[in-house]
């Protein structure tokens, strides 16, 4: 896009869509109609009352020139749109029309009231600082012409009426111009605000999507790799002293690898947990408890109530939170027992993950190494709960175990019915 085209685009944005509404077409049409009506009336009056003498041919020529200039100006020097600066061509045209009318007025006072369309044309096209002096000059010429042709005693209306009409017309049109200018400023601000809001929403969407992807990777690939590392390290330590236990650890690591591969493929496909493709949330949590159970740690699953058909987002969030909480139990709690409890109420579903491990001070995050914080586990669970419209709480104390609880409100959906809230959750 060239420089000139960019300038034109910016001008279109500042002026709107470029569409001329009915109100913008009405005023010029009325002004043109009034001009030709008054021009015809003054011409007839001249022919019936004022003609005669050598000036008649000059007056007729000036009437024709005046009409021709006015018509040509609409095509060759059109008036600017309201609020836009008049072009030099339009200003030159207005000056020529005003000059011809002044000469015509001097020769034929019948052309006096042709000043009114000129007054409206000037006010409509010129800024107020130019339009008001022009209106004053036109009004003065009209008053002078009326006084010149007056017969008998001077009629006060000849002096008062033209300035009064001109003042009213000037005030109305100047006020209209200022209102239109304020409206254009407001429209420009609105367009700019909408554009900034759209950019902000796009940035927020990008950040939310990044956070969601980070959480998904942490809850699937990262946790699987962490479990494999622990099992393979244990197998290496027991390889010579207890080959059977080492072999069991290797088989467990291979099983986790298979599940991690399935999760990765599902992650690439649509980021939904593989366990929820064919099973319900209770079945997926029960399978999770069975997988996490092993030497040194027993995980139980308990179901209180019937969850029915849950929204996919809610099921996925609760399953991921359960996975993250059990990963923390396995890596940090040194627990021997843990329990997954799914409680279903009419409008809320909650998941509790409790263990009998060493616990920690709930106000401080657990550490995986001296001086090194765990990092992404609890924050990721909190983010998932918040994105689902729920809350997550952690209760723990040193030596008394830990309970991670998440509660999510929901409206049960029927089979095959898509949860409309899914479109609202990033």
Strand partners for 344: 349
In a domain, 216, yes or no: no
What 3 state SS string does 78-93 have?
CCCCCCCCCCHHHHHH
- Return the DSSP state at 114: G
Tokens representing residue 302 in the block: 């308990």
Q: Is the pLDDT of residue 305 over 50?
A: yes
Tokens 């969407």 sit on residue: 205
In a domain, 30, yes or no: yes
112-136 mean pLDDT: 71
Evaluate if pTM is beyond 0.75.
no
Number of domains in the chain: 2
CA distance 296 to 248: 14
399-405 mean pLDDT: 91
* Cα dihedral: 306, 312, 313, 314 (round 10): 0
In a domain, 222, yes or no: no
Structure confidence by residue, pLDDT tens digits, 220-266:
777 778 888 888 888 888 888 888 888 888 888 888 887 777 777 66
Cα–Cα nearest to 267, from 229, 307, 224, 311: 224
Contact 375, 315 (CB under 8 A): no
- Burial bucket for residue 188 (CB in 10 Å: 0-12, 13-18, 19+): middle
Strand partners for 350: 343, 407
Q: Which domain holds residue 96?
A: 3-149
Other Cβ atoms within 10 Å of 311 Cβ, number: 21
Write down which residue in 94, 121, 149 finishes a domain.
149
CA distance 208 to 201: 10
Write down which residue in 89, 115, 149 finishes a domain.
149
Q: What pLDDT score was predicted for residue 294? A: 81
Write down which residue in 149, 169, 189 finishes a domain.
149
5-16 mean pLDDT: 48
């Amino acid at each position: 896009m060239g420089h000139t085209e960019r300038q034109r685009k910016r001008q279109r944005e500042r002026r709107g869509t470029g569409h001329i509404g009915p109100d913008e077409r009405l005023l010029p049409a009325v002004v043109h109609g009034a001009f030709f009506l008054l021009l015809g009336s003054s011409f007839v009056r001249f022919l019936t009352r004022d003609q005669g003498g050598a000036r008649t041919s000059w007056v007729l020529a000036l009437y024709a020139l005046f009409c021709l200039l006015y018509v040509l100006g609409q095509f060759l020097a059109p008036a600017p749109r309201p609020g836009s600066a008049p072009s030099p061509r339009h200003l030159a045209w207005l000056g020529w029309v005003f000059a011809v009318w002044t000469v015509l007025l001097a020769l034929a006072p019948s052309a006096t009231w042709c000043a009114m369309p000129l007054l409206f044309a000037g006010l409509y096209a010129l800024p107020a600082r130019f339009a008001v002096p022009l209106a004053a000059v036109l009004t003065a010429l009209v008053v002078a012409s009326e006084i010149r042709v007056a017969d008998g005693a001077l009629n006060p209306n000849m002096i008062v009426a033209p300035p009064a009409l001109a003042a009213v017309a000037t005030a109305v049109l100047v006020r209209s111009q200022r209102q239109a200018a304020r409206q254009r400023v407001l429209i420009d601000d609105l367009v700019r605000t909408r554009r900034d809001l759209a950019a902000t929403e796009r940035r927020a969407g990008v950040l939310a999507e990044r956070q969601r992807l980070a959480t998904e990777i942490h809850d699937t690939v990262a946790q699987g790799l962490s479990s494999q590392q622990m099992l393979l390290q244990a197998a290496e330590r027991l390889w010579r002293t207890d080959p059977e236990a080492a072999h069991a650890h290797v088989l467990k690591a291979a099983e986790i690898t298979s599940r991690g591969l399935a999760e990765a493929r599902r992650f690439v496909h649509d980021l939904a947990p593989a366990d929820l493709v064919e099973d319900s949330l209770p079945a997926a949590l029960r399978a999770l408890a069975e997988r996490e159970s092993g030497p040194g740690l027993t995980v139980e699953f308990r179901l209180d109530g019937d969850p029915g058909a849950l929204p996919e987002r809610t099921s996925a969030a609760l399953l991921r939170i359960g996975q993250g909480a059990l990963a923390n139990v396995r890596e940090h709690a040194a627990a021997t027992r843990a329990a997954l409890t799914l409680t279903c109420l009419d409008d809320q579903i909650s998941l509790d993950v409790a263990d009998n491990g060493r616990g920690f001070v709930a106000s401080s995050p657990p550490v995986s190494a001296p001086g090194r914080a765990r990092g992404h586990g609890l924050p990721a669970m909190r983010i998932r709960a918040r994105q689902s419209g729920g809350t997550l709480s952690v209760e723990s104390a040193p030596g008394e175990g830990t309970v991670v609880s998440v509660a999510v409100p929901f409206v049960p959906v029927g089979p095959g019915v898509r949860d409309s809230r899914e479109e609202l959750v990033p």
